[in-house]
Structure 1
């Protein structure tokens, strides 16, 4: 299957690395970064592409834009991993619309377009007989979307809840383990690259809430917006609160929850037993799915990282490729 990649930062390069190292059946025919692009409908050598980017800062020639690639390159699926404004969902939203309109499959890691415009984009994909896949938008390498859509088919999901943000989980882990203050733990998370220079989206619970909206709309057919989520972050949490919880063999984690039966979405710090399944360490994510037939199933794994995100994208691409080959 031929793919075009928009965005050649750490995730885009991670995808190219996997294509280079493994027999996936994927052929890269076009790539664009913010300043350049390249097209070869016979296939581009992924390692040469990575080396060129590292040596020059460009993936191709200046003047070849993302829009040009979408409209002119030969590809079966567009991989959309561009830097995108979470509030406007652009430029990702425009790229996805254009590719779907051209009858091309789309795989994206960008949360904004799926959270804000899922119904519109799904309708556009259906209208043009192609697929829109977005596993990488929620919990990184954890296959939560595929699990909900396919592996638990026939089950009614009553609710799901868990840790959707690795930055917050790292901060809370360090506050509990080393008795650090919130500010100290946040500074450490920044120094290690786990927290952005502006950590607002993470620590105020907004990132987790966006992921809940994606699941609520795409999986459960709700029509939710970020404003519909009750959100309390960890930025006001004190080390004393964690110490008090510790005295009773409890701890605190930022938990996101969708109550499918009541239609309620909520993100907030919660006190839970230290031996609870969701008490994972550092930047791990963990989500429990409560079903009527299978009972509770918990998925644990890395919720971020270039290779982890690339793993989810490759999985989506191979799913599309297998479907087109007539496989399940």
Structure 2
């Protein structure tokens, strides 16, 4: 199975590490022979229809920051042109997320569909804004779109609901879908520190971005919630439909007061047939949603299985790549049927 990797940042590098690590296992257990024939970043691309050396690609990126510096096969070429011209089975789309326009990732995905390539994406932006259009175009061209890694990183939220809980009606989903805000609130609660102090520490540790606005405002959670609402609940919404409040107004005093009453304060995203909101909420201290640190958690309320809770890592290169790998395997097994 031939792969084009679009985006060679933290997640893209994680994808190559995981493919390298699991190559023999995938071949022996699933009969899946993965070959990365193109890697794209903002500098251009490395293209070899026989398959690129992944360790060399990682080394070149580390040393030069540009995949176009890959010896012999590196070239200055646009990503759309790569998707159009390079024969492949799957495009893995992990370019930087834009939750305001969805571009250029949306165009990469649509071009992949038009050229009859399946897509595995970790990109929230296009799906949070244009879910119906993107899934419709994939269906129109008879290709598969998978996007487990777009919500919750390594935590299997979408596939759990759509496959393991198939046959259930999911009545509501609520959870913590952003590890950065959960880390900040946990640290504020535990050490009685103010928001700005903990945010600065999280930035120094690399847990929070240099510009943390999307996380602390709740926008990141809202994007993920819109994807869950569309893909699992069957709603037709975008990130712009989410009622939103972030965590910047939470104080150590409010956390202490909540604790004394037997509660924690968490940034909770919740979707039902009528509700679509992200805001800080009181969560009982012994409740399954009260996870600590940078963990993610999702709770499904269903008609048959009642409440089902999944907890896991919401970020990280190899961790997120594990979700991408599960989607690749799903496509491989679907095509064998």
Give the TM-score, by structure 2 length. 0.94
Matched, 1:82 2:95: yes
Write out per-residue CA displacement over residues 67-98 of structure 1, whole angstroms, 9 at most, x where no aligned residue: 12101111100001112322111110111111
The question of whether the paired residues in 2 share the 8 Å contact of 1:38 and 1:64 is answered with no
Matches of 1:249 and 1:295, distance apart in 2: 25
Query: 2:295 corresponds to which residue?
Result: 284
Matched, 1:29 2:37: yes
Query: 1:255 corresponds to which residue?
Result: 268
Shift of 1:128: 1.0
- Structure 1 residue ranges, 4+ long, deviating more than 6 angstroms after superposition: none
Matches of 1:272 and 1:92, distance apart in 2: 36
Query: 2:160 corresponds to which residue?
Result: 147
Shift of 1:40: 1.1
SS of 1:22's equivalent in the other structure is helix
SS of 1:90's equivalent in the other structure is coil
Write out per-residue CA displacement over residues 194-223 of structure 1, whole angstroms, 9 at most, x where no aligned residue: 111221111111111111111111222211
Write out per-residue CA displacement over residues 18-63 of structure 1, whole angstroms, 9 at most, x where no aligned residue: 1112133211011111102111111112111111211222223241
Which residue of the other structure, out of 42, 49, 74, is the alignment partner of 2:57? 49
| Unpaired stretches in structure 2, ≥5 consecutive residues | 27-32, 69-73
Query: 1:102 corresponds to which residue?
Result: 115
Matches of 2:98 and 2:226, distance apart in 1: 17
Which residue of the other structure, out of 192, 204, 207, is the alignment partner of 2:217? 204
The question of whether the paired residues in 1 share the 8 Å contact of 2:222 and 2:269 is answered with yes
| Unpaired stretches in structure 1, ≥5 consecutive residues | none
Query: 1:14 corresponds to which residue?
Result: 14
Which residue of the other structure, out of 301, 309, 313, is the alignment partner of 2:324? 313
The question of whether the paired residues in 2 share the 8 Å contact of 1:27 and 1:43 is answered with yes
Query: 1:2 corresponds to which residue?
Result: 2
Matches of 2:212 and 2:6, distance apart in 1: 25
Query: 1:323 corresponds to which residue?
Result: 334
Matches of 1:165 and 1:6, distance apart in 2: 24
Give the TM-score, by structure 1 length. 0.96
Q: CA RMSD in A?
A: 1.1
Matched, 1:111 2:124: yes
Shift of 1:273: 1.5
